[in-house]
Amino acid sequence: MLNLRKQILVAIDGSPLSDKAAEEAVRMAAGNPSQFKSRIYAMLVLPNAPRNTFTDFVPAPPITESEEWEELRKRIFYVIEKDAREADIPLEIKIVYGDPAEELISFADKENIDVIVIGSSGKGFIKRKLLGSVSQKVAKQAKCSVYIVKG
């Protein structure tokens, strides 16, 4: 079997479970014995900016334009950046706005991703039915493989 470079997309949100997913993505990329290095895309999906109402005269800037953003960004991506650097795996950081599942699936289709690595929060049955599950939606709708990391 021919082992070529893999394109790996990992969902990052700064939670311990996304850190665990990041570690799994790096392990997956580092475990590829091919001469071609795998590449990891770490994606943070932020919610859409709140809609302005008629009482808002000056809309609030996106969080990525705040003074605290750089420190927050470092904390969110710390594990994936450290692990990828230590394993000498190429890493690209992506920050987008929108629905997490839709953005992950869309990016995976556009970039020909081989596998999406995502954490599962382990919500109970009721919460999952009411709020939905990003990992379930990605697993059902993605055209590529999906590796779900449980806590």
34-57 average pLDDT score: 74
Better pLDDT: 73 or 26: 26
Look at residue 63 in the predicted model and tell me its pLDDT.
66
CB 62 within 8 A of CB 95: no
pLDDT at site 91: 96
At 69 the pLDDT is 78
DSSP summary character for residue 37: P
| pLDDT for position 107 | 97
The string over 20-34, giving b where at least 16 C-beta atoms fall within 10 Å of a residue's C-beta and e elsewhere, is bbbbbbbebbbebee
Instruction: Give the pLDDT confidence of 107-129 residue by residue, as tens digits.
Output: 999 999 999 999 987 555 544 44
> pLDDT > 70: what percent of the chain?
75
All structural domains of the chain, each given as residue ranges with its CATH number in brackets, are 7-49+61-150 (3.40.50.620)
**Which pLDDT does position 33 carry in this prediction?**
67
Lowest mean pLDDT segment, chosen from 4-8, 60-64, 134-138: 60-64
Contact 78, 85 (CB under 8 A): no
pLDDT for residue 130: 44
Check residue 104 and give its pLDDT.
96
